[in-house]
């Protein structure tokens, strides 16, 4: 039997409720076996054990191991990045999102001058790594993103995106324009919960979203971000499916880097929805489980979390943090207070976060890529070199 076509085929082989039940039934012996591997060669059964209720009494041990493995691989460093919201225009109706199409909020899409104004602020903060975020709309699609990349690329060495799923050739075009990474959270891997929360719009197509990282891998995007939006379904099973997805992608697109984030539902504009439990203790358990499962994967700590939590959790497996985030288009330069996608919890400036990290023996990393390494720039440079030689 040949390799499967996309992750959707793999996903269909695992029933969400059965996975949840299997995790719930994991034993103390299963947890000890997974811990005994010391972060080497853990399989998906081990991940299930570490995500299970049976692992709760071992949280301190998991945290110590996660910390050690993270320092071994990444050193005492923390990448800092900032999101830049380009638009909040969105064609989707999603139960949990402030940008949801039925919400009566002012809609905005930044033009070139406004994007530059946002860039001015982020540059002053010291950021070199910027995550571009949008809602989903056909009006602000590929050419809009390409233009934004062209405006921002001379000013930041690392540009990543969290936008609607695109086709493979579109991702390839954006990569050629200097895009370094794409984050595309599945939100939920639970086929029962997914349609309950994604009511209308292109995002209602669960399988297209599931296969998005395959299209990213196929397009040669350098880093792919995965994650579930915690609160929509059982967090343990969601996390296991993220692990399944990671495992599949790592083997198939073996030249790509991967990251995982842990967004939790926060208060937002729109109707209140029932949220499944996922508290701070659970978040730490999930983080440590992923670190023990994969020493290489980057783990991201959100500004949705409180300063108290972030100040203690940062060394337990995380490798990147956003700081000083604004989650509305124009939030840094022109519209500080309106149109947020969700409320942030840690209001400290990036400089304050960096000072905190330094005081705790960690170095803030602002720059982790150089556009010189990008193929296009290299060819441009070789043309320049060729020209200077002929002159």
Partner 1 sequence: MKTSPLVIAGVTLRSRLFLGTGKYSSGAVMAESLAASGAELVTMALRRVRTDGGHDDIMSQLDTAKYRLLPNTSGVRDAKEAILAAELAREALGTNWLKLEIHPDPKYLMPDAVETLAATKELVKRGFVVLPYVHADPVLCKQLEEAGAAAVMPLGAPIGSNLGLETRAFLEIIIAQARVPVVIDAGLGTPSHAAAALEMGADAVLVNTAIAAAADPVAMGEAFKLAVEAGRLGFEAGLAARSTKGEASGTSPLTAFLTGV
Q: Using DSSP bridges, classify how beta strands 93-94 and 198-200 pair: parallel, antiparallel or unpaired.
A: antiparallel
Part of the chain binding partner 1 (CB under 8 A), chosen from 133-141, 175-183, 306-314, 372-380: 306-314
308 part of the interface to partner 1, by CB under 8 A: yes
Nearest distance from C-beta of residue 13 to partner 1, angstroms: 16
61 part of the interface to partner 1, by CB under 8 A: yes
Q: How many CB atoms lie within 10 A of CB 75?
A: 12
Q: Smallest Cα–Cα separation from 189: which of 7, 318, 3, 6?
A: 7
Nearest distance from C-beta of residue 63 to partner 1, angstroms: 4
For partner 1, the closer of residues 76 and 150 by Cβ is 76
27 part of the interface to partner 1, by CB under 8 A: no
Nearest distance from C-beta of residue 340 to partner 1, angstroms: 26
Nearest distance from C-beta of residue 45 to partner 1, angstroms: 7
Which of 13, 40, 104, 272 forms a contact with partner 1 (CB under 8 A)? 40
For partner 1, the closer of residues 201 and 317 by Cβ is 317
DSSP codes of every residue in 51-105: TSGGGGGGHHHHHHHHHHHHHHHH-SEEEEEEEEE-B-----EETT-TT-TTS--
DSSP state of 203: G
358 part of the interface to partner 1, by CB under 8 A: no
Nearest distance from C-beta of residue 255 to partner 1, angstroms: 8
Residue 141 burial class via C-beta count within 10 angstroms: exposed 0-12, middle 13-18, buried 19 and up: middle
Q: What are phi and psi of 359, to 5 degrees?
A: -65, -20
Helix axes 235-252, 280-293, angle to 10 degrees: 20
Q: Smallest Cα–Cα separation from 61: which of 35, 34, 40, 39?
A: 35
Part of the chain binding partner 1 (CB under 8 A), chosen from 124-132, 222-230, 310-318, 373-381: 310-318
C-alpha span between 42 and 34 (Å, rounded)? 7
**H or E element, residue 389:** helix 375-390
Nearest distance from C-beta of residue 140 to partner 1, angstroms: 36
65 part of the interface to partner 1, by CB under 8 A: yes
Number of residues that bind partner 1 (CB under 8 A): 35
**H or E element, residue 333:** none
Which of 104, 254, 272, 389 forms a contact with partner 1 (CB under 8 A)? 254
Which of 59, 117, 142, 333 forms a contact with partner 1 (CB under 8 A)? 59
C-alpha span between 365 and 74 (Å, rounded)? 11
Q: 48, 240 in Cβ contact below 8 A? A: yes
361 part of the interface to partner 1, by CB under 8 A: no
Q: 87, 110 in Cβ contact below 8 A? A: yes
Site for partner 1 in 97-136 (CB under 8 A): none
Site for partner 1 in 255-294 (CB under 8 A): 279-281, 284
Nearest distance from C-beta of residue 59 to partner 1, angstroms: 5
Nearest distance from C-beta of residue 288 to partner 1, angstroms: 9
Part of the chain binding partner 1 (CB under 8 A), chosen from 12-20, 30-38, 81-89, 223-231: 30-38
Site for partner 1 in 234-253 (CB under 8 A): 250-252
| 119 CB-near residues (< 8 Å, 6+ apart) | 84, 130, 151, 152, 155, 156
Q: 189, 228 in Cβ contact below 8 A? A: yes
Which of 131, 246, 249, 316 forms a contact with partner 1 (CB under 8 A)? 316
Nearest distance from C-beta of residue 112 to partner 1, angstroms: 41
- How many helices (H) and strands (E) the chain has is answered by 16, 11
Q: Which residues bind partner 1 (CB under 8 A)?
A: 1, 3, 29, 32-38, 40-41, 45, 59-61, 63-65, 67-68, 250-252, 254, 279-281, 284, 308-309, 312-313, 315-316
């Amino acid at each position: 039997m040949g390799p499967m076509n996309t992750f959707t085929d793999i996903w269909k082989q695992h029933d969400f409720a059965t996975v949840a039940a299997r995790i719930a039934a994991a034993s103390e012996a299963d947890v000890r076996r997974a811990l005994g591997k010391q972060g080497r060669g853990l399989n998906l059964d081990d991940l299930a054990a570490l995500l299970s209720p049976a692992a709760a009494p071992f949280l301190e041990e998991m945290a110590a191991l996660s910390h050690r493995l993270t320092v071994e691989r990444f050193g005492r460093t923390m990448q800092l990045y900032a999101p830049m919201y380009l638009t909040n225009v969105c064609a989707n109706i999603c139960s949990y999102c402030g940008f949801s199409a039925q919400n009566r909020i002012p809609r905005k899409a930044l033009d070139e001058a406004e994007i530059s104004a946002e860039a001015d602020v982020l540059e002053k903060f010291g950021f070199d790594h910027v995550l571009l975020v949008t809602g989903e709309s056909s009006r602000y699609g590929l050419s809009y993103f390409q233009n934004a990349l062209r405006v921002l690329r001379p000013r930041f060495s690392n540009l990543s995106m969290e936008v609607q799923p695109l086709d493979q050739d579109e991702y390839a075009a954006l990569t050629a324009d200097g895009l370094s990474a794409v984050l595309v959270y599945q939100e939920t891997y639970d086929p029962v919960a997914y349609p309950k929360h994604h009511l209308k719009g292109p995002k209602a197509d669960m399988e297209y979203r599931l296969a998005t990282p395959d299209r990213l891998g196929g397009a040669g995007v350098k880093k792919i971000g995965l994650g579930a939006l915690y609160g929509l379904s059982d967090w343990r099973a969601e996390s296991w499916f993220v692990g399944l997805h990671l495992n599949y992608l790592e083997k198939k697109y073996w030249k790509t880097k991967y990251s995982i984030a842990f967004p939790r539902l926060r208060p937002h504009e729109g109707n209140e929805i029932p949220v499944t439990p996922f508290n701070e203790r659970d978040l730490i358990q999930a983080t440590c489980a992923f670190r023990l499962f994969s020493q290489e994967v980057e783990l991201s700590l959100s500004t949705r979390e409180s300063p108290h939590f972030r100040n203690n959790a940062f060394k337990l497996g995380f490798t990147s943090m956003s700081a000083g985030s604004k989650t509305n288009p124009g939030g840094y330069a022109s519209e500080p207070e309106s149109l947020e996608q969700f409320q942030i919890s840690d209001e400290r400036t990036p400089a304050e976060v960096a000072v905190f990290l330094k005081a705790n023996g960690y170095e803030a990393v602002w720059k982790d890529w150089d556009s010189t390494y990008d193929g296009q720039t290299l060819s441009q440079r070789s043309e320049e070199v060729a020209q200077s030689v002929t002159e």
